[in-house]
Amino acid sequence: MTGSTDAHLARVSAVESLLVAAGRDRRPGSPLNMPLVLASNFVLGTERAYARDDGTPTWEALEEIVGLLEQGQSVAFASGMAAIAAVFDQLHAGSRIALPDDCYQGVAGLAESGRQKGLWSVIRLAGDDTDGWIRACADCDLIWLESPSNPMLVVADLRSICSAPRKPSALLAVDNTFATSLNQQPLDLGADISMQSATKFIGGHSDLLAGMVTVRRDDIFASLRHSRELRGATPGALESFLAVRGARTLALRLERAQANAMILAERLSLHPGVECARYPGLTTHPTHAIARAQMKGFGTIISFDVRGGAVAADAVCSRLRLVQHATSLGAVESTIERRASIPGQEHLPPSLLRLSVGIENVEDIWGDLDAALRGRG
């Protein structure tokens, strides 16, 4: 970014400081905060001519922040799905893709659409089937991992899978949305690509759509930018501005929400109205040991099954007053939804609720959940 150099961040060692310091124009007289640059084209004579091809200072600030967080080169997209589509755009005809059996339905839908068109074949594996993923690395052109997974919160053994021998030219990508760059570093673990929906934790306020892909290989970086340019999947100016502003407080928001999530997960696991609580931080979680080994924190997402089936789960959602009955996740407010009610998610446990824990007072969140589970509106 113009006016921002490594020298300005030389004394920055913690991610909390980097989030605040990165992505700024340091030239004398520049605005302290990166402004909202509303421009589709620029005066000729510089390296920047047209926004779709050359970017804008606003979304480049976002790319700088995320790139520094993951020590790579980031490309910003109009949405998380646009970012995912750009990764799939790297495939050639006849490719073979490996996907988790529990993954974001948009990814599954994109993969299935391409399969039906004869573009590629798809295999599905359990997220914790490490041996199966290692075999897939030798056979597939795209290994797409999601850890923790959505919404079963399975943590894949990224260190073992990413270090496995891969088919020449194969790409290994990790959806890092649930973990965030602060809790997990897929590129350090050996992945080629780290993807995040900036709609979630980076933005953090339920007011934007954006996606980020971060890589360390120059050829993949150039190809992703080319895909963005040809597909027109560029991020909006306002969305980029909001994402930069949201990123400044990511560490604070994550710390608070993550602490809340641990308390709530422990209480939900003991609640008489709950059959099963899933959270990587619980010692009873099947992949807790892997999460503890490869993640700095366990995230803010909890899924739990309500006793009484789908009707009881829907009733819990309707009785909540503080926790918002809404989709998406990773924002300041706590949100909840019954995932099996969403088209394409019918295979999930019918009474499973996915709770995205926010930054509210934890006792207020618990009081709301407890009352709803006990049938009090």
**Interatomic CA distance for residues 49 and 54, integer angstroms:** 7
| Distance separating alpha carbons of residues 260 and 197, to the nearest angstrom | 22
Tens digits of residue pLDDT in 176-196: 999 999 999 999 999 999 999
Helix/strand/coil for 34: coil
Task: Give 118's contacts (C-beta < 8 A, 6+ positions apart).
Answer: none
For residue 276, which amino acid is it?
C
Q: What is the pLDDT of residues 84-113, one digit of tens each?
A: 999 999 999 999 999 999 999 999 999 999
**pLDDT score at 4:** 47
Question: What is the C-alpha separation between 374 and 319, in angstroms, rounded?
Answer: 10
67 three-state secondary structure: helix
Domain map (residue ranges) of the chain: 6-248, 251-373
Residues 115-139 have a mean pLDDT of 98
Specify the CATH class of 251-373 in words: alpha beta
**Which pTM value belongs to this model?**
0.95
Q: Compute the average pLDDT of residues 7-21.
A: 86
* Domain 6-248 indexed as CATH 3.40.50.11540: no
DSSP-based three-state secondary structure for 96 = strand
Average pLDDT, the chain: 96
